């Protein structure tokens, strides 16, 4: 039996590093709708399941390290050169590789807050320092304040659009003003994990901005709209020189063969999948309209979730939802994020919300 306590020193930064908190899962044997992880409620298409089954017979072999066929398919879909696309195990892992490729110890990364909770973790692990800029009361990013936070130590600015967990997307005019204000040697990462759900006519064309601004990088994923959260496939779009550096920083053979073939099959079935996206958007609209009719002030979500700024009541509200049969994601002291799922789940959630609506 090992009794000695390990005395191997750990990085001091890890002592203050918050652990990533996943969305709640239903207890074994319990029945509840899971609206806590922004997952696509639809199962994979039959063609994608077939691709997964075909790939399974080759799991004794290493995958294509560069995900060549997948990156070529993405490049064709986005009308960029294949050398600009870097695949990884979800967009959060790709973000880590981006930061590793450009940040030195002591560099600063400007990020909105509250935003994606993996940002502080990724920044710290890249030996950089985070500079948090509060989001506005309506859940929107404060881009002028983020631009003002840039200093000569800033290497990266993270722009989450739509913002997770509050929901709004940045708009074209404000983003163009922001990019004009940021030095060209500062990398601007547009995290578009939920871009397929955006319906705001004022939202930017990120690919056009990428073509115009060499310091812009796009992050996207197959986890949400494409329903491959369990296979972990995301990617960055960057200028070839930067993309090569991101690729160098990436985990070798990171994207499994199964994940690559599933993503390729999803690209081929994109029109069929986008019908499901429209259904999620319609259910999002029903959820937002239902909450507003009850008197809730809800940000204009352009993602597959909605946000209730409940402050100190967030955890209690989430517990009440769980007792009613829906699992939501509380952020203690800030609010609750509710993923768009099945129609029946929306009905239950709205019943709980009605019981606790503002008076």
For 323-346, write each residue's pLDDT tens digit.
999 999 999 999 999 999 999 999
What confidence score (pLDDT) does residue 14 get?
78
How many angstroms separate the CA atoms of 217 and 251, rounded?
19
- How large is the average pLDDT for residues 291-298? 97
Q: What angle do CA 172, 176, 180 make, to 5 degrees?
A: 175
How many angstroms separate the CA atoms of 275 and 269, rounded?
10
Asked if residues 228 and 44 have their Cβ atoms less than 8 Å apart, the reply is yes
**In the structure, what pLDDT confidence band is assigned to residue 297 with cuts at 50, 70 and 90?**
very high
DSSP 161: S
Q: What is the CATH number of domain 46-269?
A: 3.40.640.10
Cβ count within 10 A of residue 94 = 29
Residue range(s) of every CATH 3.90.1150.10 domain in the chain: 12-44+271-355
- How large is the average pLDDT for residues 236-260? 97
For 147-178, write each residue's pLDDT tens digit.
999 999 999 999 999 999 999 999 999 999 99
Whether this prediction's pTM lies above 0.85 is answered by yes
Q: Which of the listed CATH numbers 3.40.50.970, 3.90.1150.10, 3.40.50.11540, 3.30.1180.10 matches domain 12-44+271-355?
A: 3.90.1150.10
What residues contact 79, with CB distance under 8 A and at least 6 apart? 207
- How large is the average pLDDT for residues 269-297? 97
Cβ count within 10 A of residue 162 = 29
**In the structure, what pLDDT confidence band is assigned to residue 22 with cuts at 50, 70 and 90?**
confident
How do 335-339 and 329-331 pair as beta strands?
A: antiparallel
Residue range(s) of every CATH 3.40.640.10 domain in the chain: 46-269
Residues constituting the chain: 359
What confidence score (pLDDT) does residue 123 get?
97
- How large is the average pLDDT for residues 3-8? 70
């Amino acid at each position: 039996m090992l009794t000695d306590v390990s005395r191997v020193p750990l990085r001091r930064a890890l002592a203050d590093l918050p652990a990533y908190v996943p969305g709640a899962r239903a207890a074994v044997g319990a029945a509840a709708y899971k609206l806590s992880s922004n997952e696509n409620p639809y199962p994979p298409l039959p063609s994608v399941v077939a691709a997964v089954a075909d790939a399974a017979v080759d799991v004794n072999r290493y995958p294509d390290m560069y995900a060549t066929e997948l990156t070529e398919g993405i490049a064709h879909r986005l009308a960029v050169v294949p050398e600009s696309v870097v695949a990884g195990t979800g967009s959060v892992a790709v973000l880590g590789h981006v930061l590793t490729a450009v940040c030195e110890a002591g560099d600063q990364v400007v990020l909105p807050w509250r935003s994606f909770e993996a940002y502080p973790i990724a920044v710290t692990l890249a030996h950089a320092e985070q500079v948090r800029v509060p989001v506005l009361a309506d859940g929107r990013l404060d881009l002028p304040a983020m631009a003002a936070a840039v200093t000569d130590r800033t290497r990266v600015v993270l722009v989450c659009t739509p913002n997770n967990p509050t929901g709004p997307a940045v708009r074209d005019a404000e983003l163009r003003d922001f990019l004009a204000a940021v030095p060209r040697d500062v990398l601007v990462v547009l995290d578009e994990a939920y871009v397929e759900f955006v319906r705001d006519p004022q939202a930017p064309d990120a690919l056009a901005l990428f073509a115009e601004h060499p310091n812009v990088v796009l992050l996207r994923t197959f986890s949400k709209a494409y329903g491959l959260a369990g296979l972990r496939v995301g990617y960055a779009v960057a200028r070839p020189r930067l993309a090569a550096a991101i690729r160098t920083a990436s985990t070798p053979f990171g994207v499994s063969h199964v994940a690559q073939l599933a993503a390729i099959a999803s690209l081929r079935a994109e029109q069929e999948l986008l019908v499901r996206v429209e259904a999620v958007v319609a259910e999002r609209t029903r959820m937002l309209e239902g909450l507003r009719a009850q008197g809730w002030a809800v940000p204009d979500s352009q993602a597959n979730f909605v946000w209730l700024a409940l402050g100190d009541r967030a955890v209690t509200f989430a517990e009440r939802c769980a007792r009613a049969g829906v699992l939501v994601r509380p952020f203690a002291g800030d609010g609750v994020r509710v993923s768009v799922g099945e129609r029946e789940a929306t009905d239950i959630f709205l019943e709980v919300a009605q019981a606790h609506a503002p008076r």
